[in-house]
Structure 1
């Protein structure tokens, strides 16, 4: 997905899928599961879920906490879906929904 400003239905269909964000200033990329995209500002909300991290190669073995990344659209060079990573289960996504709302 080159353009991350998606129609709300497409955002909903991709919730829980694994995405990789590259920044315009060449900072270290961020990876996580899509929780939401603000349709007005384009701000991304990605989740780092430690229960799903066993299937994701990581250079940070100490990552065992739940994390939420809020990324402003101005900082994003690209936002790409990685279908090789298993999406979050509906139960895990529902747990995140309860935590974040």
Structure 2
């Protein structure tokens, strides 16, 4: 019998479009301009803005803003390239701002 609850998800706070799975969290210790943020290995149902170089707390990164593919709400950003060796682990991963996502199936 299939699990009736399904995976624990995070969804866009505006339209409840699922954007990531709890199992994909790498870290809950990140900071965005608006407050806490989570680092995820994968995100779904998102669209990316143009790539741009941005000076963040941990140095220079090339990032692309992440938007909900359903309602267009900006949810965070994706690390495209890290210029410092100690930050390379972030490449390809996605930051979602805590106050822009809600828990589903918990």
Same fold (TM over 0.5): no
Taking structure 1 as the reference length, what is the TM-score of the superposition?
Answer: 0.34
More helix by share: 1
Higher gyration radius (CA):
2
More strand by share: 2
